[in-house]
């Protein structure tokens, strides 16, 4: 073999390796997108199952609560809300949102403003952790 043929073969091998690397990168992106979609669909499926269970409960369980609500509505036209109750309700809503974000993070999703909603593939995210610790 001559020197020129050797360099030609090396160049061909390098270009094949580059093409292979590019194809692997594209496949990696496709797999990542499929994993994110699978996780999203699994969560949506769980949510729909919960809704289905709630709606498929017998009507008898719903009727007493509705009767109580109607009786309360008839007896008092203007509800009286105490400031303490409002503060407790507001803190419960904030706590619930924080809990939901923490749950999403522990399920493997970013909750930071940089990568919100993307699947965490490389371990913990410092942005997300700092957000949770606020």
pLDDT truncated to tens, each residue of the chain (134 aa)? 688 899 999 999 999 999 999 999 999 999 999 999 999 899 888 888 888 888 888 654 544 545 545 544 444 444 444 555 545 554 555 578 888 888 888 888 889 888 888 888 888 888 899 888 87
Other Cβ atoms within 10 Å of 113 Cβ, number: 9
**pLDDT value at position 64?**
52
**pLDDT value at position 72?**
45
- Length, in residues, of the chain: 134
Write down the pTM of the prediction: 0.39
């Amino acid at each position: 073999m001559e020197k020129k043929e050797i360099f030609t073969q090396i160049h061909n091998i390098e270009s094949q390796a580059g093409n292979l690397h590019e194809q692997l990168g594209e496949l990696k992106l496709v797999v990542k997108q499929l994993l994110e979609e699978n996780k999203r669909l699994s969560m949506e499926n769980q949510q729909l199952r919960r809704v289905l269970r709630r709606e498929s409960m017998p009507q008898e369980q719903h009727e007493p609560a509705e009767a109580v609500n109607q009786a309360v509505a008839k007896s008092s036209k203007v509800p009286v809300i105490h400031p303490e109750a409002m503060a407790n309700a507001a803190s419960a809503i904030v706590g619930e949102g924080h809990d939901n974000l923490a749950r999403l993070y522990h399920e493997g999703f970013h909750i930071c403003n940089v990568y919100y909603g993307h699947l965490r593939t490389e371990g913990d995210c410092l942005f997300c952790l700092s957000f949770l610790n606020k």
